[in-house]
Amino acid sequence: MKHLSEFSALDISELARADVARALAEDVGEGDLTAALVDAGRSAKARILARESAVISGVPWVEAAVLSCDPSARITWCVGEGQRCEANQVVVEFEGNAQALLTAERTALNFLQMMSAVATKTAVFVAAVDGTKAHIVDTRKTLPGLRMAQKVAVKVGGGVNHRIGLYDAVLIKENHIAAAGGVPAVLKRVAETAPQARFVEIEVETLEQLDEALASGARMVLLDNMDVPTLKEAVRRNAGRAILEVSGGVSLETVRALAETGVDRISIGALTKDVKAVDFSMRFDAF
């Protein structure tokens, strides 16, 4: 599978259609019993309203949900992907078959509320480190089956994607180091076993481990749960040799101070793990 940085608009659309197909199969099953109460030939107009301010993400997923149910539906976005909506603002309008719009409603809203939540939270963290060199980075702490959608939303919010999965990059942690026989041994081993990796990163918990990793040729180091003074010293010792990433216990209250130490990246699992859905609702015009 390609990394998201290599995805085209067509790739994103195909990803959205695949996600939506699974979601509709889960929701609709053998048929929408409630939508069947509406005459099959009736047309309708509907709109999605934002109940709070948010960065919009999930446009291809919403479109896939509606067009899967009614390929001839008309969709007009009032707030586009990556743009901010305000409370009570109309985000998108639909015209199409009434049954189809009713069937698509929950799936469309589920993707829009989840992805916009991720994009909005990411944008808040990105704004908090503005003016520093630090990038806000996601993790693999994602909702099962929705990783790619959530990582798209991180990018929409201004963040950077870490590895997509275990297959595209290497993150060496404490247990890997112990099992492989130490830092020099594990770094040598990864060059032999995973030459195709997009990057190789090694996690350290102390300044001594950082020194050992740098001496062994590490070019990307994860500084795990270090306080601000230790991070500043790590940046000084590194002297630009490796990309330095901070991880562990990052919050909106602490992220600025962490960024000001001079690190390159700050990874935050909460971007995708602790998702509070943005409040949207779909409203139909009177039939």
For the chain, the domains span 4-122+276-284, 127-273
pLDDT of 5:
74
pLDDT given for residue 9 in this prediction? 83
Q: Which of 47, 173, 256, 273 is catalytic?
A: 173
Share of the chain above pLDDT 90, in %: 89
Each as own residue / partner, the long-range contacts of residues 90-95 (CB below 8 Å, 24 or more positions apart, any chain) are 90/47, 90/48, 90/49, 91/47, 91/48, 91/49, 91/50, 91/56, 91/280, 92/47, 92/48, 92/62, 93/45, 93/46, 93/47, 94/45, 94/46, 94/47, 94/66, 95/43, 95/44, 95/45
Q: Identify whether the C-beta of residue 159 lies closer than 8 Å to the C-beta of residue 137.
A: yes
Q: One of 19, 105, 201, 203 is an active-site residue; which one?
A: 203
Q: How many CB atoms lie within 10 A of CB 265?
A: 21
Q: Is 133 known to be catalytic?
A: no
Compute how many other C-beta atoms are within 10 angstroms of the C-beta atom of residue 132: 17
Give the pLDDT mean for 209-233: 96
Q: Alpha-carbon distance 138 to 146, whole Å? A: 14
pLDDT in tens, 12-46: 999 999 999 999 999 999 999 999 999 999 999 99
- pLDDT, position 286: 65
Give the pLDDT of residue 193: 92
Residue whose token pair is 């942690």: 173
Amino acid at 279: D
The chain-wide mean pLDDT, for the chain, equals 95
Q: Is 201 among the catalytic positions? A: no
Q: How confident is the model at residue 56 (pLDDT cuts 50, 70, 90)?
A: very high
User: Is 121 noted as a catalytic residue in this protein?
Assistant: no
Q: Cβ distance 204 to 233 under 8 Å?
A: no
Provide the residue type at 118 as one letter. Answer: V
Q: What pLDDT, on the 0 to 100 scale, is given for residue 270?
A: 96
**CATH number of the domain located at residue range(s) 4-122+276-284 in this protein:** 3.90.1170.20
The span from the CA of 231 to the CA of 213, in Å, is 15
Q: Which residues 6+ apart lie within 8 Å of 61 measured at CB?
A: 16, 19, 20, 108, 111, 112, 115, 149
* Ramachandran angles phi, psi of 18, nearest 5°: -65, -45
Nearest-angstrom CA–CA distance, 149 and 145: 9
For residue 82, what are its two tokens? 């990556």
Q: Is residue 173 over pLDDT 70?
A: yes
**Annotation says 27 is catalytic:** no
Active site residue 273: no
Annotated catalytic residue: which of 17, 45, 84, 106?
106
pLDDT tens-place string over residues 99-151:
999 999 999 999 999 999 999 999 999 999 999 999 999 999 999 999 999 99
**Overall pTM > 0.85:** yes
Provide the edge-to-edge strand list for the sheet that holds 200-204. Answer: 135-137, 265-267, 243-247, 220-224, 200-204, 170-172
> What local confidence, expressed as pLDDT, does residue 236 receive?
98
CATH fourth-level superfamily of 127-273: Aldolase class I (3.20.20.70)
Catalytic residue among 224, 233, 260, 279: 224
| DSSP helix, strand, coil percent of the chain (3-state; round to 5) | 45, 20, 40
Q: State the binding site for substrate.
A: 106, 139-141, 163, 173, 203, 224, 247-249, 268-270
Q: Is the CB of residue 218 less than 8 Å from the CB of residue 187?
A: yes
Annotated binding-site positions: 106, 139-141, 163, 173, 203, 224, 247-249, 268-270
The predicted-structure confidence for 243-280, as pLDDT tens digits, reads as follows: 999 999 899 999 999 999 999 999 999 999 999 999 99
Q: What is the pLDDT of residue 20?
A: 98
The letter for the amino acid at 78 is C
